[in-house]
Structure 1
């Protein structure tokens, strides 16, 4: 998947991955795809909830061994 911004928050615990994603989303243009990598298993629940609450599109989410990877497209 072609990603405009890659954000690796490996090692950071909740709420840091989502807070870092929120900062990154504010800096990019609408329609930009942001890839979030995290080792916090709470991301499986937190990322879909955050996208629903903020209106951004959760394009895809997958697990890669000890990491969780989500792709979010900025709304707008």
Structure 2
């Protein structure tokens, strides 16, 4: 999957991965695909919850060795906080 922006938070613990994707996604146009890479196991629960709260679309999540990778598409209108 080819993302326009990659946010690599490897080595950082919660809440850093979510804070970093939130910061990155603010600057992007609607519909942009962002790839988030993390070594924090909590991303499996945190990223879907954040997407649900903000209205962004979680396109896919996968595990790659010790890393967790999620792809998020920026929504047109943010419904919650942190977007």
TM-score range relative to shorter protein = over 0.9
Name the CA distance, whole Å, in 1 between partners of 2:3 and 2:45.
Answer: 22
Residue number in structure 2 paired with 1:24: 24
Q: How does 1:1-76 map to 2 (within 5 A)?
A: 1-76=1-76
1:26-62 deviations in Å (ceiling 9; x for gaps): 0100000000000000000000000000000000000
Structure 2: segments with no counterpart, 5+ residues: 77-83
Name the CA distance, whole Å, in 2 between partners of 1:65 and 1:55.
Answer: 29
Q: 1:2: how far off? A: 1.4
Q: Which runs of 4+ in 1 moved over 6 A?
A: none
Superposition RMSD in Å: 0.3
Aligned residues: 76
TM-score of the superposition, structure 2-length normalised? Answer: 0.91
